[in-house]
Structure 1
Amino acid sequence: MSGITQTNEKLPFEAEKAPVITSIRSIEGAIIEVTDRDADQAMDYVLDSQNIVLDQKIERALIRKIDWCILPLVCALMACQQMDKTTNSYASIMGLTKDLNMTAQEYSWVGSSFYFGYLFFEFPANLLLQRFPLSKTLGVAIVLWGVVLMCHAACRSSASFLACRVLLGTFEGFMNPAYILLTAQWYKKSEQFMRSCIWFGFQGFGSILGGGIAYGLVSHHYTMPSWRLLYVITGIITVFLGLISTVHIPDIPVKAWFLDETEKKYCVERIRSNQQGFGNQHFKMRQLRETFKDIRTLIFFVYGMSYAIPNGGFTNFGSILLKKDFGFSTKDSLLMSMPGGGIDIVIPFIVAFMSTKLFKGDRLIVCLIVNSIVIVGMCLLNFTSHKGSKLAGYLSFYAATAVVSGVVSCISSNTAGYTKKITVNTLFLVGYCVGNIVGPQTFRASQSPNYSGAKIAMLVSFATGDICIALMYWLNKRDNHARDKKREELGVDYAEPKNLEFADLTDKENPAFRYSL
């Protein structure tokens, strides 16, 4: 299954500097050469930490400190990101379309244009996150995002507004990949699903906050149109959080200002079990090639698109649907967007808890169950006429946040090799972009106010998501079984190369890697 060769018996793991593996035989039998340049950033800190025996009490205290120092800011950024994206939905019923003389079709392109910028800049954004310090790169992108958001308030035509949306989308490309990388750096695989659910779920707080701000603005009269003020206020909040994140979040755990030396060593030792390390700043063509040969990459892409088609519709047309199809007033439509935000926050946390306590950590099984419940909700939205049942179906969409959180955590925990991870991130988000471009286009003006075509598209999309999740679960089970069988064939004499987990190997290359379910 695996082997190691070395040019000098004293070189690997005994040098005073960074330990070096010279070559590894991958799970598929290929020989992979490993040099200092190939190793993970964590390798530089391995010698200082490898003799540490983790004390559970200290480790629990460390996890709490990481949770309090890192997670709240990531949650705030995610909430702000969602609030900023849903401003269109609120602004559309606050006078945006009227003031800019937008047709219904032009407004559909407002939603799609954002994701053209996202799509075209997604891969460059991931490369920049790999090449430069993670938190600094993220912080700069967030500040620029906030500045562009405020520029929306100065737009006087549909063309200038569409240009702002495209530019805003380019900075969106930095955010979700950065959150995924941060989760992989700071937490063990067993901890990642819960944390992904928490920060992803906090986009619901952004929906609540954005809806509340919009409701307050619409309830009073100002010299500036209320929808323009909405973009200014959300932009200022974003710039502030971007500046805070730049100085607060460390680029890698061993540079954390809030950890002492012992805690930094614990961080290195804790991530051994992930078989992933902190990351490597050099782009590796072999990992890129493997990414495109891995069937999981295609599954992530298709799932990203299947989730994003409904998401693109709800983000831009949610308030319009509530007003035109359900018959709520403008103010009530803004208020009715808030319960969905509450579902966004609560359901992912409940799903992660259920996965840990009832399903032995099998997150994909729980995701499959929740996604199937959302399918039932889409059937209510499509095929019932009672206002209450239709509203229940409408709100069921927000439970899908828990499902996409689970899939995102699979990218974090089941994709090893830094170049491969950023590429899978990119392709997942390319699918996400494509879906968000398509989603608003399913809302045809000719089908107003029911928008039956859009509702059918949502139902088909979630059904496709079910297939993706089930296939991913089967692949992970199959590959883990095959690796365990090969390990048994080698017998007790087989020994894993020391510090293998910090060689920046992919999940296919690393014989010790096991997929999380």
Structure 2
Amino acid sequence: MSSTASDEIKKTTNMELTQEKNPIIFSVHSLEGEIIEIDEKNADQALDYALGMERVEIDPAYERRLVTKIDWFILPIVVALMSVSLMDKTTNSYASIMGMTADLRLTGEEYSWVGSSFYFGYLIFAFPANLMLQRFPLSKTLGIAVILWGVVLMCHGACKSAAPLLACRVLLGILEAFMNPAYVLLTSQWYKKSEQFMRSCVWVGFQGFGTILGTSIAYGLATNGHYALPSWRLLYIITGVITIFLGIVSVLHVPDIPVKAWFLNDTEKQYCVERIKENQQGFGTRVFKKHQLIEAFRDYRTLIFFVYGMVYAIPNGGFTNFGSILLRGDFGFSTTTALLMNMPGGGIDIVIPFIVAYLSKWFFKGERLIISFLVNSLVVVGMCLLNFTAHKGSRLVGYLSFYCATAVLSCMFSCISSNTAGYTKKITVNTVFLVGYATGNIIGPQTFRSTQAPGYVGAKIAMLISFCVADLCIAGMYFLNKWDNRQKEKKREALGDSYVVPDGLAFTDLTDKENPEFRYSL
């Protein structure tokens, strides 16, 4: 085949692996009996690097040290960004009982729309944000979005009425659309499939630290004297400054792909490439591929991700904006006590995902979907306590059980990371998941009707139904993955000894359906 091969992946009858200086041509036999050919433009960013280096024999001890080094250099900044992200989103809940609703003369319905408006921005910009993360350097794009996020958050403190507050929330939602997709992409770049669930649990779970930090700042402002500005305005300014600082750190610290990492030597970079071959996903390409977009929408997993994102987010949208109001009105806590009662939820956010990840590894043979189903079922029980019991203690247990669902959300993020191959397909599935997430967060605050205050019966029922549907999504994902893995194994066995795995296959940007070596992790 000539060096003027089409920019799109094409079918061909040539089964040879050929390399040309410009472009590199790579052909592979799929399990469907087709030959898929990739030119240099459409390959993974690291294919040239992978084909040019000698094969590395992995030393387990050296690899463990490398993974620890990656953990220390990458995870803390992701954890910090995730923490301030949740802290910033929940400032509305704190500010609402610190005087914001009175100062801005917000009615109950207007405050519900303040909660929902954030996710209208998120919904509008979900796909453009994912495209920008693909087209431009990943960490730089993320860092700039975080800096702008902090600026917009500070602008909340200058709002004088509902209209500018709504505008700020929409802008904040637009910038939020960059966050979770970037963390998913970073996780898939740096870690093997077997490592991704634990790391997803770390960065999703530590959003609980953001809850604790935000609650502490709000409590301190609410109880310690008088200030030149109302305490709720100071809350937005302080959290905005923290966010801007971390955005600057992200831009300067996090590399865009592992082979460009400033903190790794040449041997460590080679290890990163060799390790990631196991994922059959590579580091990503900046070329948008239409056929991968189409495949994403034909994959049943995409629908499951959408539905789960929506049903998880309906309770999440309610708790994020009405949690403190519910604790004060329904449970009868004072304003300051209601603020403090958010802290146990933050602690649960941090602890439970770690426990779930370790149980998955040691007692469930790494099958994270099984334990996630069990944890989600416990949340269903908790929602029943919140809805149908009268005792304050049991209802509070039900309220706090919501935070256990963070571990299940971690599982779904890690499923997108580990089970979606092909960079365009990955960002598409990411987008669909986040569209569902945004939709649920728009619906969530609307379930809190002012006519049902302070008990908000309708909202509580909506939470219970949402988690029941989430159980169906998790079970469906598990059985679909097992079925597709069995089908791939049967096709592989039918080819017999004639099938040979080409070197560099992991860096060809094939989708999970196209790649003959890809297997879905449970």
Structure 1 residue aligned with 2:164 = 160
Offset from partner CA, 1:268-304 (integer Å, 9 cap, x none): 1100010000001000000001011111000000000
Distance 1:4 1:258 in 2: 40
Whether the aligned pair in 2 keeps the contact of 1:48 and 1:265 (CA below 8 Å) is no
Matched, 1:280 2:299: no
Q: CA deviation at 1:490?
A: 1.5
Distance 1:467 1:509 in 2: 27
Q: Work out which of the residue numbers 369, 378, 384 in structure 1 matches 2:383.
A: 378
Q: CA deviation at 1:47?
A: 2.8
Distance 1:466 1:8 in 2: 44
Offset from partner CA, 1:157-206 (integer Å, 9 cap, x none): 00010000001100000000000000000000000000000000011000
Matched, 1:412 2:389: no
Matched, 1:59 2:56: no
Q: CA deviation at 1:33?
A: 3.0
Q: What letter corresponds to residue 124 of structure 1 in structure 2?
A: P
1:512 aligned counterpart, secondary structure: coil
Distance 2:408 2:83 in 1: 18
Offset from partner CA, 1:212-258 (integer Å, 9 cap, x none): 00000001221200000000000000000000000100000011110
Give the 5 Å matches for 1:79-478. Answer: 79-220=83-224, 221-478=226-483
Q: CA deviation at 1:26?
A: 3.4
Q: CA deviation at 1:12?
A: 2.0
Structure 2 residue aligned with 1:37 = 41
Matched, 1:12 2:39: no
Q: CA deviation at 1:51?
A: 1.6
Offset from partner CA, 1:351-407 (integer Å, 9 cap, x none): 000000000000000100000000000000000000000000000000000000001
Offset from partner CA, 1:61-102 (integer Å, 9 cap, x none): 100000000001100000000000000000000001000000
Distance 1:380 1:7 in 2: 63
Q: CA deviation at 1:4?
A: 9.5
Runs of 5+ unmatched residues, structure 1: none
Offset from partner CA, 1:316-373 (integer Å, 9 cap, x none): 0000000000000000000000000000000001000000000000000010000000
Offset from partner CA, 1:130-154 (integer Å, 9 cap, x none): 0000000000000000000000000
1:460 aligned counterpart, secondary structure: helix
2:484 aligned counterpart, secondary structure: helix
Distance 2:87 2:213 in 1: 7
TM-score normalized with structure 1 length:
0.97
Structure 2 residue aligned with 1:496 = 501
Query: Structure 1 segments of 4 or more deviating over 4 A?
Result: 3-9, 15-19
Whether the aligned pair in 1 keeps the contact of 2:150 and 2:240 (CA below 8 Å) is yes
Q: Work out which of the residue numbers 52, 70, 73 in structure 1 matches 2:74.
A: 70
Whether the aligned pair in 2 keeps the contact of 1:375 and 1:462 (CA below 8 Å) is yes
1:246 aligned counterpart, secondary structure: helix
TM-score normalized with structure 2 length:
0.96
Distance 2:205 2:22 in 1: 42
Distance 1:286 1:86 in 2: 39
Structure 1 residue aligned with 2:4 = none
Q: What letter corresponds to residue 257 of structure 1 in structure 2?
A: W
Q: CA deviation at 1:127?
A: 0.3
Distance 2:55 2:411 in 1: 34
Q: CA deviation at 1:265?
A: 0.7
Whether the aligned pair in 1 keeps the contact of 2:420 and 2:512 (CA below 8 Å) is yes
Whether the aligned pair in 2 keeps the contact of 1:6 and 1:12 (CA below 8 Å) is no
Offset from partner CA, 1:104-131 (integer Å, 9 cap, x none): 0000001100000000011000000000
Structure 1 residue aligned with 2:7 = none
Q: CA deviation at 1:32?
A: 3.1
Q: What letter corresponds to residue 115 of structure 2 in structure 1?
A: G
1:497 aligned counterpart, secondary structure: coil
Distance 1:458 1:27 in 2: 43
Whether the aligned pair in 1 keeps the contact of 2:97 and 2:335 (CA below 8 Å) is yes
Whether the aligned pair in 2 keeps the contact of 1:18 and 1:47 (CA below 8 Å) is no
Runs of 5+ unmatched residues, structure 2: 1-9
Whether the aligned pair in 1 keeps the contact of 2:207 and 2:349 (CA below 8 Å) is yes
Offset from partner CA, 1:7-30 (integer Å, 9 cap, x none): 696x625x56875313x4434445
1:385 aligned counterpart, secondary structure: coil
Q: Indicate the RMSD between aligned Cα atoms, in angstroms.
A: 1.5
Q: CA deviation at 1:494?
A: 1.6
Distance 1:88 1:514 in 2: 42
Whether the aligned pair in 2 keeps the contact of 1:49 and 1:269 (CA below 8 Å) is no
Whether the aligned pair in 1 keeps the contact of 2:51 and 2:504 (CA below 8 Å) is no
1:32 aligned counterpart, secondary structure: strand
Whether the aligned pair in 1 keeps the contact of 2:23 and 2:41 (CA below 8 Å) is no
Whether the aligned pair in 1 keeps the contact of 2:13 and 2:35 (CA below 8 Å) is no
Distance 2:249 2:357 in 1: 29
Distance 1:27 1:368 in 2: 32
Whether the aligned pair in 2 keeps the contact of 1:19 and 1:47 (CA below 8 Å) is no
Alpha carbons of 1:40 and 1:492: their partners in 2 closer, same or farther (altered >3 Å)?
Answer: same
Q: CA deviation at 1:493?
A: 2.9
